[in-house]
Amino acid sequence: MTVTQESPRTYEVRTYGCQMNVHDSERLSGLLEGAGYVAVTEGETADVVVFNTCAVRENADNRLYGNLGHLRPAKVRNPRMQIAVGGCLAQKDQGEIVRKAPWVDVVFGTHNIGSLPVLLERARIEGEAQVELKESLEVFPSTLPTRRESAYAAWVAISVGCNNTCTFCIVPSLRGKEKDRRPGDVLAEVRTLVDQGVLEVTLLGQNVNTYGVEFGDRLAFGKLLRACGDVEGLERVRFTSPHPAAFTDDVIAAMAETPNVMHQLHMPLQSGSDRVLKAMRRSYRAERYLGIIERVRAAMPDAAISTDIIVGFPGETEDDFQATLDVVRESRFANAFTFQYSIRPGTPAATMDDQIPKEVVQERYERLVALQEEISWAENKKQVGRTLEILVAEGEGRKDEATRRLSGRAPDNRLVHFAVGEETPRPGDMVTVEVTYAAPHHLVADGAVRELRRTRAGDAWQARVAPQPSGVLLGMPTIGRPATSPSSSGCSAR
C-alpha cells in the first residue's frame, strides 16, 4: 500500500496600514511557517489568507469586505482554504466580521497574534469560525518567530500602545496603553539582527520617544539611541514616530553625537493652528514644534525632517489652514505625508460640529500639496553635487533607454536612483555616488559609482535568494524591515 504525503498548506498575509502592522505581519508569517505552512507562489491563491487590517485609513472596512467578497468563490472551490482577519479593524469590529462575512474562519485581535496557528487548526477541526480577541497584550510581538521581508534592514519594536487621547485617532482603544520593552531585551534583539547581517534598524513605537514611561525613566529613549551606537556592525539607526510634546533635548544630543544614528527626523505636525491642535488634543503648539526643528537643525544642519499633516479637521477655518501653511513654509520639510480628514467612527472628532465640506477640504489639500512639492524640490536641489553613501534596496530603480539604475536610501532617507556600472551591487551593499539631478520625491546619480562596498548584509541577501533546502526558514527569529517612507508608526494620528 502506497501512502501519499499531503503537500504543505500555503499561506499569504495581506497587510494594510502602518509600520506596526508590517511588523506584526512578519510575525504572523513566522508563526505560520513555524507551524508548517509555506508561502504561496506569486499569482496563486493560498490555502490560508490572512488579512492584517487597519482601522485608521479611509474606507478600511469597505476594502476589507470587498476583498473578502472576492475570495468567497475561491473558498467554495477549495475546501482546504481558510480566511483569517486580524489587526485593528478586527479588534474594533470583533464579531461583526463573521456576521457580515460568514465564510471567514478566524478573527483575532491586536493583542493575540500569537494565537493564529491554534485558531486556524481549531476552526478546521470544529468546522466553525473562531473569534478570539483579548483586551490586553498576551505576548510582546517581538518575542514571536518572524519571517522578515529584508535581509539587510529591520524593524525593532521598543513599545506598543499609546497613552494619548487625540480626538481623531482610534489607535489607543485598539492597541491599548503603552507597554515598553526593557532596554536589555531591545539591544539583545538588535545584536542578533546584526549577527544575521542586518545593517540598519528602525526603532518603532506608536510614540517612540515616550519610551521608558512604563519603567519610570523619561530619558530612556536617548539612552537607547546612544546604546545602539555601541553595537558593532550596526551602521544605521532610525526611529519612528516621536511625539512633539515629549521631544526632549537629550534626544537631539543623542542623534547628533551617535555616529550611526541617522540625521533624519519624522515628527508629525498634524496642524499649524494652535486652536486646531487644542481641538485635536495635541499637547503642544506651533511655537514648540518650530522650536524643536530649530534645535535639531542647529545640532544637525544636514538633517532631513518630514511630517504628517491633516487637512480639514472639524472647525478648521481658512485662517487655521493658513497657519498650517505658515509652519510648513518655515519648517522646510524634506517631505510631508498629507491626509484629508475623514470621519472615523468611535473617535471624538466624528461627532464634532462644523465638519468641513469635502470640496473645501479637497481645495485646501491641493494647495498644501502644491506648496510642499515646491519646498521638497527646492530642498532636494540642494543635494545636487553632494557625494552620498547609499544603502542599496531590493528591486530595480528608474529606467530609460540609455541607463540602467538601481535604487537605495541616503543616510537622511532620501530615495536615490543611481546608474549601475559593470559591477552590479546587491541589496544590502553600499555604493558611494554623486547626485546629478533632483526631483521633488527622489534624487538621481547618473555618474560612475565612486565606490562599491560589499557588505555582510549583501551576503545575507544573496544567501536568502539562493536555493534553500526544503523546510529551511530564513531570518528567524528576527524583525521586519523599515518602510521606505517614514510615515507614522500608528496612523496619521501621531
Residue 493 in any domain: the answer is: no
Same domain, 205 and 292: yes
Task: From 349, 381, 413, give the residue that closes a domain.
Answer: 381
Same domain, 58 and 158: no
Torsion of CA 48, 37, 482, 139, to 10 degrees: 90
Residue 141 in any domain: the answer is: no
Same domain, 439 and 460: yes
Residue 252 in any domain: the answer is: yes
Q: Is 228 annotated as a binding residue?
A: no
- What's the pLDDT at 72? 93
Residue 85 CA to residue 201 CA, distance in Å, equals 28
State what percent of residues in the chain have pLDDT above 90: 68
Task: From 82, 105, 132, give the residue that closes a domain.
Answer: 132
Task: From 381, 408, 441, give the residue that closes a domain.
Answer: 381
Q: Is 88 annotated as a binding residue?
A: yes
Residue 143 in any domain: the answer is: no
- What's the pLDDT at 421? 84
- What's the pLDDT at 478? 31
pLDDT in tens, 171-195: 877 888 899 999 999 999 999 999 9
Mean pLDDT of 249-269: 98
Same domain, 436 and 363: no
Same domain, 226 and 79: no
Mean pLDDT of 74-92: 90
State what percent of residues in the chain have pLDDT above 70: 91
- Pick the most confident of 151-160, 161-170, 363-372, 416-425: 363-372
Q: 247 vs 27, 222, 226, 329, CA distance in Å?
A: 30, 10, 16, 21
Total number of domains in the chain: 3
pLDDT at 423 over 50: yes
Check which CATH number belongs to the domain holding 48 and give it: 3.40.50.12160
Same domain, 306 and 339: yes
Same domain, 395 and 373: no
Quick count: other Cβ atoms within 10 Å of Cβ 311? 24
Residue 63 in any domain: the answer is: yes
Check which CATH number belongs to the domain holding 454 and give it: 2.40.50
Same domain, 168 and 20: no
Grid cell locating 308: 504628517
Q: Which amino acid, one-letter code, is at 408?
A: G
- Pick the most confident of 131-140, 320-329, 347-356: 320-329
Same domain, 330 and 351: yes
Mean pLDDT of the chain: 89
pLDDT at 485 over 70: no
Same domain, 176 and 311: yes
* 481 or 178, higher pLDDT: 178
**Alpha helix (H) residue ranges in 302-395:** 318-331, 358-381
User: What is the span of the domain harbouring residue 443?
Assistant: 387-465
Quick count: other Cβ atoms within 10 Å of Cβ 175? 21
Same domain, 105 and 27: yes
- What's the pLDDT at 397? 64
- What's the pLDDT at 42? 86
- What's the pLDDT at 1? 44
Residue 415 CA to residue 144 CA, distance in Å, equals 31
pLDDT at 471 over 50: no
Q: How confident is the model at residue 396 (pLDDT cuts 50, 70, 90)?
A: low
- What's the pLDDT at 477? 33
Residue 343 in any domain: the answer is: yes
* Residue that is written with C-alpha cell 545636487 in the block: 384
* 238 or 17, higher pLDDT: 238
pLDDT at 56 over 80: no
- What's the pLDDT at 58? 65
- What's the pLDDT at 403? 73
Check which CATH number belongs to the domain holding 159 and give it: 3.80.30.20
pLDDT at 225 over 80: yes
Same domain, 164 and 100: no
pLDDT at 484 over 70: no
pLDDT at 370 over 60: yes
Residue 186 in any domain: the answer is: yes
Residue 141 CA to residue 398 CA, distance in Å, equals 36
pLDDT at 87 over 80: yes
Q: How confident is the model at residue 399 (pLDDT cuts 50, 70, 90)?
A: low
Quick count: other Cβ atoms within 10 Å of Cβ 57? 18
Residue 70 in any domain: the answer is: yes
- What's the pLDDT at 319? 98
Q: How confident is the model at residue 244 (pLDDT cuts 50, 70, 90)?
A: very high
Mean pLDDT of 111-121: 91
